[in-house]
A and B are shown apart, each in its own frame.
Chain A
Amino acid sequence: MDEKTLKIALWLVPLLPVGGFILNLFFGRFMHKLASSALACATVGGSAVIAWLTFFHVKADGPIQTDAIQWFYTGDGKQALTFVVDHLLRVDQLTCVMMLIVTNVAFLIHLFSVGYMAEEKRYSRYFSYLNLFTGFMLMLVMSGNLLGMFIGWEGVGLCSYLLIGFWFEKVENASAGMKAFIVNRIGDLAFTVGLLMLFCYIGTLPGGAWTVDLKELAGIFAKQGSVMDVGIITTIGILMFLGATGKSAQIPLYVWLPDAMAGPTPVSALIHAATMVTAGVYMVARMNFLYSMSPGALTVVALVGGATALFAGTIGVAQNDIKKVLAYSTVSQLGFMFIGVGVGAYSAGISHLMTHAFFKACLFLGAGSVIMGMHHQQDIRKMGGLRKYMPITFVTFAIASIAIAGIPPFAGFWSKDEILWKAWSTKNLLIPGQIIWLMGAIAAAFTAFYMTRLVVKTFYGELRTPIGGGHDALAGAHGHDDAHGHDAHDAHDGGGHDDHAAPAEHHGLEHPPKESPWTMTLPLVVLAILSVVGGSICTPHWIRGDFEHWLHDVCPDAAVKHHEPGKHEMSAAGLQGHGPAAPGKPEEHHGPAAMEIILMVFSTGVAIGAIAFAWIVYRKKEGAPAEKFVSEHRELYELVRDKYRVDELYENTVIAFQLGANEACARFDNAVIDGAVNGAGEAGASTSLYTGYFDNEVVDGGVNAVAKAAQAAGRGTRSIQTGNIRTYIAASVIGGLFVIAFFCLWMMWVTQQGGK
C-alpha cells in the first residue's frame, strides 16, 4: 500500500470500530445476533488488517503520520500565548507495537464474546460498547498529541464504566463501574495538572513553544534539555505518573480493578488485562523524553511499580474467586511493567506489556471458559478436576500460567527477566536498582505460587461441586437470569454468600462441565501459542531479539549521567536517530554480562521452586499445609484475604471526608449564605416596618396635625355663626359704629393736619 493511501487508511483504524459502535447502538435491535457480532468483529478485524499493513510500512520506511485536521485553536500562534491543537495520528514503532496488540487481541476477544455472551439480552449493546472501547484505545495509542491521547484516555475510562456496569440491574455492578470511573478521574486530575504544568513550562521556556504535540515536545526536550529545571520536570513526571496509576491500577489508585471483575469476563480480558490498563505504561514510554531527564520521577515510578507488584502478589495468594486472582495478578504484572519503564528500560516494559497481553488475555478467557462450563460458578473452592471435562481450556490455561510464572522459553520469561536485569543494573535511579530487583523477584515468586495454586485448585483433583444434585424448584427456576446474574456476583471469600441467592443455586450443576464452543476455544489456542512464541522477539540482543533495537529510535533507554551530587546532567538520548551518540544504545558489541545470566538462572530457579512448592502443597497434600497455616495465622490470613482492608481505609478516610465536605458546603450554603440573603430580606422587611411606623406616625402625623389645627381654627371661627339674626344685626351695628368712629377720628386728624 502506498503511503498516501495508508495515510488516509490510518484514520480508519480508530474510526472503523467507532462506526461499528454507532451502527450497533442505533440499529442493533433490528439486527440478528449474528449480524451484530459479525459487524463488530469485522470492524476490529479491518482495523487489524490496516494495522498489519502499517506495521510493514513502518518496518520498511519508518514512522508515518496522517495530515492534521484542525481541532481547536486560540489564535494564529503569532500572538502571545496562542496555540493550535490538531487531530493527528502518528504511527511510529512504539505505536505500531501497541496497535498490533490492541487490534489483534481485541479481535480475538470479540470472537470469544460471540460464544460467551450468546444468551445475553442486550447483545448488540455489548458489542457496540466493545467496539467503542477499541476505537478509543486506538485513538489513545495513535494520537500524535497529548490532548488527542487524552480523548482516548478518558474514552476508555468511559467504556470501562459502561462495560463493568453492563449488568446494571444489580446495583453492585453499577457501583463497581462508578468506582472505576471516579478513581480513574482522580488519576486524570493529576494527569491534567501535570499536562498543564508541562504545557506552560515548555511554553514559557526560551526556545520552547506552546504545543502539546508529542514530536514537537520531544524535539524541544532534546534541544533544551540541559537548561531545563529538573525539579519542575520531576514534578510533571510524578503528576502524570499519578494519572497512570489511576488508569493502570497501581498504588494508590488500584482499588477499582478487583471490583471491575463484576463485568463480563471478556471485558476483563480486554480492558483490564490487555489494553486499557496498559495505557499508563504506554504513556510513560511515550513520554520517555521527559522521564529520562528526571531520576526522581523514575525512582518514584520504579518504587511504586515494585511495591505494587509485591503488594498485589501477596493478595493474590489468598483469593478464592478465579477472576479476583487474575485481577490481582494483573495489578502485580502491571507493577512489573512500571518497574521496567521506571528504571528507564522502556522497551523492556513494553515488551512485558506485549507478552502480558497474550498470556493474561489467555488466562482471563480461559477463566471465562471455566465459568461458562461451571455454569457461572467462580469460586475455585467449588471447582476441581476440570482437566478431564475441558481439556483445551486446561492446556491453554496451563501454558499461559507457565508463561506468567516466567519459565523459559515461554514468553513471560524473556520480558520479565529483561526487566529484572535492567532493574538490577540500572544507574538511573536515586536508589540502588537492586532494591527494585528484590521487590520484583519476590513478586515473581509469589506469581508462580498463586498461579500454580489456581491451576491446581481449578483443574486438578476431583470436582468439588456435585453434578446433578440438589434439584429443587428453586434450582431449576433460575435458568436464564443467571446469564447476567452470576458473572456479577463474586463469591465472597470467606464471607457470607449473596443475600438474595437461594442456597439451592450452589448445590450442584445440572450437567457436567463441557468444553466451550470453537468461537471460545480458538482464541484461547491462538493466545496460548502466542504465549509460547511471542517472547521470541523480546529476547536479549545476544539471542537475536531485536525488539529493543527496533524501538530504540522512539523510546531509547534512559541514561542519566550523574556528576556532582545534587546536580545531574540530563541527556534525553538521541531521538529519531539524530543527535549526539546516544549513551543508551544497547550494547550490540558484546555478549551478555555475567550478572545477567546469573539472574536469569536465579529467577528460573525461583519460579520452578515456587511452582513445585505450590504443587506439593495443593496437589499432593490437598492444600492441608495451607489450611494449617491459615488456622495458625488467622488474622494474617484474613488481613490478606481482605486485601489489607485498603478499600475500607479509603472509605473511612477519603470518602467520608468527601461526604463530610459535601454536607458542610451544603449546610454552609443554606445556613450562612442563604441565611445572609434571607436575613437581608428579613432586615429589609422589619426595617420597612419601622419606616412604615415612622411614616404613619411622624410624617403623616405632621400632616394630620396641620389639618387638625386648621379644623380647630375653623371651629373657633365658626362659632360666630349663631344663626341668630339679631346677633348678626348687633354685630353689624357695633362694627358700623367702629367704622364711623374711626372715620370721624380720621377726619378730625385730617382737619387738624390741614389746620397746622
Chain B
Amino acid sequence: MGEFSLGDLAGKYLLTTMTFVPLLGALLIMLVPRGQNSAMKWIAVIISAIPLLLCWPLLKGFDASITPKTADDAARFVQYGFQFVTNSEWIPLFKGSSIRYAVGVDGISVTMIVLTALLSFICIVASWGFEHWHTSKGLKGYLALFLLLETGMMGVFISLDFFLFYVFWELMLLPMYFLIGIWGGPRREYAAIKFFLYTLAGSVLMLIVMLALFFASGDVDPATPGVQHTFMLPELMKQSNLFTGTPWLLAFIGLYIGFAIKIPAFPFHTWLPDAHVEAPTPISVILAGVLLKMGTYGIMRICYPILPEAAFRFSPVMMLFGFIGIVYGALCAMAQIRGVPRVNPQTGEQFIERDLKKMVAYSSVSHMGFCMIGLAACTPAGMAGCLLQMWNHGVITGMLFLIVGVVYDRAHHRNIDGFGGLWDKMPVYGGITALAFMASLGLPGLSGFIGEALCFMGAYQAGPNVVDEMGVKDPPVFNLIRFSVYYKLLTAISVSGVVFGAGYFLWSYQKVFLGKLNPKYAEITDVNPREQFTLWPLLLLVVVFGIYPKPLLDLIVPSVNYLVGQVGMPWVK
C-alpha cells in the first residue's frame, strides 16, 4: 500500500519532516554568531541534505500504480493516488468546515519533491563560494532565508488543502524578495520588487478563486452527510461537476493568470529576465529549477482536476500562449547575442545589452512553453511530456545557471562579447557546458529530447475532429479554432523552437568558448572541485535519463494518465 517499512507513523510524518527540517535549520543558523561562516555553511549543507536523503525512503515506499483499494482509502485519498497522507484539522471554521493540515504525494508531486530536494542541496553547495560575491551582507541571513524558502517550496508540492497550499505559496515570496533584493546585482531592488508584486498580484487572484471554490463547494444535497464547505483539493476534485459554466471559466482564467505568472507564460513573463539577471547564482538556480515549476504544477494539481470543463474551453488559448512563448522566448534569447539596445532608466545612458544570463532566462521561457503546449493538449503523451519537461528543465536549466555562475565568478561580467576561446584554458568546463547546451536544445539521447518529443507528440494528437463535442455553447470563433488543424499547426510551428535553440546556444557557445583566446582571460582557471560537485550529478542525471528514463516515467505515467482521465478532453476518449 505504499507504506514505509518502519510503520505507519514514519510514513505519516515523512513529508512533514522533509518540509519543516529546513525551517528548523534556518532557526539553527540564526543562532550561530555572526562571522562563523564555516559553521553556518556546514549546518546548511547537512540540513539540506536531510530532505534529499529522505527522498530515498519516499521513493522506495511510493507505489506508482493507482488503484482504489479499501474503504479506508477514501479517507486517505488513495483513490486519487495520494500516498504518505497526513490529514488533521488545523483551523476549525464554521458549520463543520475547517482548514486542514493535509499533505500527501502522488506521482506528480513526488517528482517535484525530489527535484526540490536535489536542487536545494546543490544550491547550498554552490553558495559555498559566498566569499567571492560582491556583497558585504551576511551569510547568516542568506542561508536562513534560503532554508525558509526550501520549506515553502516543499510545502507547496505536498499540500492537499488549498489554504495550506496558499500559505506555503505566499511563504515562498518573502525570502525570495530578500534574497534577490539584498544579495543581488546592481538593479536588485527593482528586480526584487517587480518579482514580488507581480507574483503577489497573481496570488490575489488565486485567493479569490480559492474562496469562491470554498463557498461553492459542499452545496450538494443534504442527503450526503459530511460534505461541507471545504478547501481540501481531493474533495473539490470529487465535486468537479459542480463547477461548470461561464463563472467558473472566469475562475479558471483567474487561477490561470496566477499560475501563468509563475510559469512564466507570455505575456506575464517579463519579471523573469530581470529577476534572473540580478539574483545571485544559486538563487537563479532555485528560481529556474523549482519556482518556475510551480506554475504548471498548480495548473495540474488545482485547475485541471477541479475545473475540467473550463480547462477544455480554455485549452486553445493556453495552446496559443504556449506556442507564442516557445517562439518568442527563443527569439528574445537569440537577440541577446547580437545585443539589444537599451536605455538605463536611472542614468539615461544607452548601452547594448548582451547578457548571457538573460539569454538563459529567455530560453527558460521558451522551454516552459513546451510544457504548456503539452499541458494544453492534455493527452497522456502531452501531460507526461509536460511533467517530464518540468523535471528536465529543472535539472538542465539549473545546470545552465550554475555554468554561467562559474564564468561570472571569474570574470565578474556576463557580456557574451567579452569572452572568447575559453575552451582552450577550461576544457572540462567547456565540455560540461557543451553537454548542457546540447541537452537544453534537445539533442536525442539526452533527457531533454524525451520531454520535448512527448510534448510535441501529445500536442499533435490533440484537437477534436468534430466541432462542439461537449455540447457547450460557445461563440462561433471558439468552435472554429477547436478543429484539430489548430493544434497541429501550432505544434508544427513550435518545433522551430528547437532550431532557434540550436541557434542561440551554439552561437553563444562559439562566442564564449571558441575562437581566439581573449587575452584578458589567459590565466583563467578551470572549474574547481566544488563547482564540479554541483555540476556532475545533474549532468549524470541528464545523460542517464536520456537513455533510460523508465524510473522517472514509472513515477509519472500512472498519475498523469489518471489526471488526463479526470479532465477528460474529448479527443482522449
Contact = CB atoms under 8 A, between A and B. Distances in A.
A181 B509 CA distance: 13
B461 interface: yes
B456 A196 contact: yes
Contacts of B510: 171, 174-175, 178
B572 A155 contact: no
B307 to A, nearest CB: 22
Interface stretch (A351-359, A668-676, A705-713): A668-676
A200 interface: yes
Nearest to B385: A74
A154 B446 CA distance: 11
A175 B565 CA distance: 49
Interface string A411-452: 000000000000000000000000000000000000000000
B187 interface: no
A147 B444 contact: yes
B516 A83 contact: no
A189 B499 CA distance: 7
B571 to A, nearest CB: 8
Contact of B499 (A155, A182, A661, A681): A182
A168 B197 contact: no
B338 A662 contact: yes
Nearest to A192: B495
Contacts, number: 164
B445 A155 contact: yes
Nearest to B443: A154
B450 to A, nearest CB: 5
Interface stretch (B82-90, B91-99, B376-384): B376-384
B550 interface: yes
Contacts of B424: 169
A30 interface: no
A665 B358 CA distance: 14
A379 B424 CA distance: 30
B122 interface: no
A677 B202 CA distance: 13
A81 B381 contact: yes
B146 interface: no
Contacts of B453: 147
Nearest to B270: A674
Nearest to A174: B514
10 contacts: A72-B550, A80-B572, A150-B444, A155-B443, A169-B515, A188-B498, A193-B495, A196-B488, A669-B270, A674-B270
Contacts of A147: 444, 453
Interface of B: 194, 197-198, 267, 269-271, 328, 331-332, 334-336, 338, 340-342, 379-381, 384, 421, 423-424, 431, 438, 443-445, 449-450, 453-454, 456-458, 460-461, 488, 491-492, 495-496, 498-499, 502-503, 506-507, 510, 513-517, 547-550, 553, 557, 561, 565, 571-573
Contacts of A667: 340-341
A75 interface: yes
B495 A74 contact: no
Contacts of A165: 514
Given A70-B550, A147-B453, A186-B499, A666 B380 contact: no
A72 B553 contact: yes
B474 to A, nearest CB: 24
Interface string A160-187: 0100010011110011001001100110
User: Which 3 residue pairs spanning A and B have beta carbons closest together?
Assistant: A666-B335, A171-B515, A662-B335
Nearest to B546: A151
A434 to B, nearest CB: 36
Interface of A: 25, 70-75, 79-83, 87, 147, 150-151, 153-155, 158, 161, 165, 168-171, 174-175, 178, 181-182, 185-186, 188-189, 192-193, 196-197, 199-200, 203, 658-659, 661-667, 669-670, 673-674, 676-677, 681
Given A168-B514, A169-B516, A666-B332, A200 B502 contact: no
Contacts of A674: 270
A72 B454 contact: yes
Given A171-B515, A662-B334, A189 B495 contact: yes
Contact of B194 (A193, A676, A677): A677
B444 A75 contact: no
B423 A677 contact: no
A185 to B, nearest CB: 4
A154 B499 CA distance: 12
Contact of A663 (B340, B461, B561, B573): B340
B335 A663 contact: yes
A185 B445 contact: no
A150 B454 CA distance: 14
A168 B431 CA distance: 13
A153 B449 CA distance: 13
Given A75-B380, A79-B380, A677-B270, A158 B438 contact: yes
Contacts of A81: 379-381, 458, 461, 571-572
A673 B270 contact: yes
B381 A83 contact: yes
B492 A196 contact: yes
B380 A182 contact: no
Contacts of A662: 331-332, 334-335, 338
- Most B CB within 10 A of own CB, among A81, A87, A197: A81
A200 B463 CA distance: 11
A193 B496 CA distance: 10
Contact of B506 (A73, A170, A178): A178
Contacts of A681: 194, 197
B492 A171 contact: no
A200 B424 CA distance: 46
A180 B516 CA distance: 20
A178 B499 CA distance: 12
A103 B269 CA distance: 50
Contacts of B454: 72, 74
Nearest to B271: A677
Contact of B561 (A72, A79, A203, A665): A79
B423 A168 contact: yes
A666 B340 contact: yes
Contact of A181 (B423, B444, B445, B502): B502
A80 B377 CA distance: 14
Contacts of B421: 168-169
Contact of A200 (B338, B460, B516): B460
B502 A665 contact: no
A70 B547 CA distance: 10
A665 B331 contact: yes
Contacts of B516: 169-171
Nearest to B274: A674
A192 B271 contact: no
A182 B492 CA distance: 18
